[in-house]
Structure 1
């Protein structure tokens, strides 16, 4: 088979290939870029493999004035940077020892040996600069059938790296049709308990990639539940079918995770705190997850009410929570899209008054200042955000005069 895509011959790619070949090396595209090309999908990351040793790759790139970063020398990987575009280049290798999390590798000159250490047949495809595909384990056949196949015995390959349990489900959701084979499911079930030995970051990355899938996400999550894998990540009973809504095809994985967790039996705050820690979420990710778990809004909103919630939550968080609540209320896609279109077209200015403004006209620091600021903001919202700063200051002065009269009485 031969692939023919513009990225194969683009200027940056050619520079990397030419630099390697000038140094006497052979270099091929590998993995996802070849697989996705065969599937006629958009190619994002371009990874390459070579028979040159890592130090030789660095010398070859530098000799051609290409910036290079030794991103993973221990495992044979360097990254070439051309016009701000990264290209990972990894020396051919094979595993000599694995403990389920880390692999001890040895460099080789054999392309088949390098292919044999990869997880699934369709991830072990290579292509040269002419687009000729090298397929050592019938990955093309499995792609044609949309079938998930390990290279070798599933159980042995999983024991080499337990992350392959999650990768199996992720690639099945993304590429395959039909059920995962019983042999793979049984192997995943037997070793599911070892998922806890993996780092939270690795689990998070795989789960977010899985949650980014659309067509077969729900059935894949159900399979994960049935074979005891999903419970090792989300330790509570959840309903996967909440993610079957069509609007979710373009939704952030954090939102999908929140939807799943909102179906859990556990207290939302406690399960959210646990998942944030287990998956090593960033502060921004945790804030978003906890916001969606803690908040709900009505799903029959007037334009005035929509504006109030947009102002209260901010545009992006409002769009997240309205999707979540509409999905739970079983609203159809058109209803949800109406809310999103209105939010995107709605301009809400920044609230023009601050606590300092109130102090400047005689307010004292304390509880009443905060209460007054909230009253003034409600007054501003009721005007459909039309009142200007000087008008709000006048209103604030009237509130203060009223308060002073009450205090005297």
Structure 2
């Protein structure tokens, strides 16, 4: 079998291969790019393996005027950059010892030894510059059957790196059909407690990649629950079937995580804070997660109400929260799509008034300014966003005049 896509013959890939070969090295494409090509999927990241040592790789690339970054010298990895495209190049290696989180490696000249340290058979595929594929552990057959197979004993490989528990479920959801083997499920269940030894960043990356899957996500999450793996990440019981709605193919992983968490009996703010901390979510990710957990809107909205929420939340957040609330209200795809079509066709101008504008007409900074700005905004929304800035400032002046009159009236009474 050969590579069928044109990325293998790209100018950038050719320049890297030529640079390594000029220095007497051998180099092959490896891992996801080869696997995804066999699956006829789009290839994103291109990784390569070589028998040259890291310092030899650096010298070879620099001699060909290729930018090189020593991204992981300890593990034999450098990154070549051509036309702003990164290519990871790793020296062939095998593991000397592993502790479940870190591996001590040794460089080697054996392609099969390098393949044997990889986790799953279909991740240990290599391809040369001609597109010829090298398959040391029947990865091609497992891809044909859409079957997940560890290289060697599942338990032994999991004990080398406990992240492989989550990777097993992620690759199963993304590639495979049918059930995960009992041997793999048993090994994952036996060592589920060790997930807590992993960093939040590693767990987050695997979970968000898993949640980005669509076709086999729900059965995979159910399997994770049955072998007590999901509970080591989300401490409260969740209803995985909520993610089976077709409309969710259009949302990102944070939205799916939020929907899962909304099925728990836990306090939403508390579990949102816990998950954000446990998974080391970015500020942006946490803000989105907490927003979706804390907000609810009706699923029977007039066009005026829809415009109001779009203006209040912003288009994308509105679309996320209305999808979630519609799913919880058991609306069908057609009903949800009506909201999406309206939202996408709805043009709402930016609110033309700011706090500075109110200060310019006599408001003082403080609580009343904020309250008045909100009243002006509500007045603008009630006009279907038709009022101009001058008309809104006139309304704001009237509010201020009434406030001053009230203060003067109270003062006279005193």
TM > 0.5 fold call: yes
Query: How far off is 1:368 after superposition?
Result: 2.3
In 2, the alpha carbon distance for the partners of 1:131 and 1:120 equals 21
2:23 maps to 1:34? no
What's the TM-score, normalizing by structure 1? 0.98
In 1, the alpha carbon distance for the partners of 2:259 and 2:330 equals 13
3-state DSSP class of the match of 2:191?
helix
2:126 maps to 1:126? yes
Q: Which residue of 2 aligns with 1:172?
A: 172
Q: Which residue of 2 aligns with 1:142?
A: 142
In 2, the alpha carbon distance for the partners of 1:283 and 1:364 equals 32
2:207 maps to 1:215? no
2:270 maps to 1:267? no
Matches within 5 A, 1:277-288: 277-288=277-288
3-state DSSP class of the match of 2:90?
strand
Query: How far off is 1:6 after superposition?
Result: 0.6
Q: Which residue of 1 aligns with 2:362?
A: 362
Q: Which residue of 2 aligns with 1:258?
A: 258
3-state DSSP class of the match of 1:301?
coil
Q: Which residue of 1 aligns with 2:102?
A: 102
In 2, the alpha carbon distance for the partners of 1:107 and 1:214 equals 38
What's the TM-score, normalizing by structure 2? 0.97
3-state DSSP class of the match of 2:130?
coil
In 1, the alpha carbon distance for the partners of 2:30 and 2:250 equals 28
Q: Which residue of 1 aligns with 2:374?
A: 374
2:71 maps to 1:71? yes
Query: How far off is 1:178 after superposition?
Result: 0.6
2:90 maps to 1:82? no
3-state DSSP class of the match of 1:71?
strand
Render the CA deviation track for 1:222-242: whole Å, top value 9, x for unaligned.
000000000000000110001
Runs of at least 5 residues in structure 1 that lack an aligned partner in the other structure: none
Query: How far off is 1:35 after superposition?
Result: 0.5
Q: Give the RMSD, CA atoms, in angstroms.
A: 1.0
Render the CA deviation track for 1:43-63: whole Å, top value 9, x for unaligned.
111100000000010011011
Query: How far off is 1:319 after superposition?
Result: 1.3
In 2, the alpha carbon distance for the partners of 1:142 and 1:226 equals 24
2:396 maps to 1:396? yes
In 2, the alpha carbon distance for the partners of 1:282 and 1:195 equals 21
Render the CA deviation track for 1:172-211: whole Å, top value 9, x for unaligned.
0011111000000000000000000000000000001100
3-state DSSP class of the match of 2:71?
strand
3-state DSSP class of the match of 1:134?
strand
In 2, the alpha carbon distance for the partners of 1:354 and 1:127 equals 59
3-state DSSP class of the match of 1:213?
coil
